[in-house]
Amino acid sequence: MNMKTTPVFVLALLGAATWAQVAGVRRTDLLRHDSVVPGREVVQVRVDVDPGHGVPRHTHPGDEVLYVLEGTLEYMPDGKAPVTLKAGQSVFIPAGTIHAARNPGTGDGAGIATYIVEKGKPLITLAK
């Protein structure tokens, strides 16, 4: 398995080919594999988030499950109360749910995110 560490990128609101880097957030690609469900793929990444940083409101073209490895991560789904997670806890974000995420702590935060998404679509799309 070849792991590749890259900054997390989010799709810009205008233009599918335009990407913007999110400061303080890094992604290590762990797995990308076709699902047994036609038209779907499984993507697994490690996400490291510096204190006070996060990812703006966005969606995914499929379900997300996040397991927190270290520190504290907060998920903020639109219209619902924020969910604060510590190491050893998980959260499920249904497909298409607009949400943001951040590290509200003073130490590093890290998690393993697993997505079951529509193949060929951007993994992350900024919400309007």
> For each of the chain's 128 residues, which pLDDT tens digit applies?
444 444 443 333 322 322 246 899 999 999 999 999 999 999 999 999 999 999 999 999 999 999 999 999 999 999 999 999 999 999 999 999 999 999 999 999 999 999 999 999 999 999 98
Distance, CA of 87 to CA of 9 (rounded, Å): 24
- Give the torsion sign (CA, 104, 25, 75, 57): positive
Inter-residue contact 103 to 72 (CB < 8 Å): yes
How many Cα neighbours within 13 Å face the side chain of 46? 11
Give the domains, in start order, of the chain with CATH numbers.
Answer: 4-126 (2.60.120.10)
Task: Give residue for tokens 């919400």.
Answer: 127
Distance, CA of 127 to CA of 56 (rounded, Å): 8
pTM of the model: 0.82
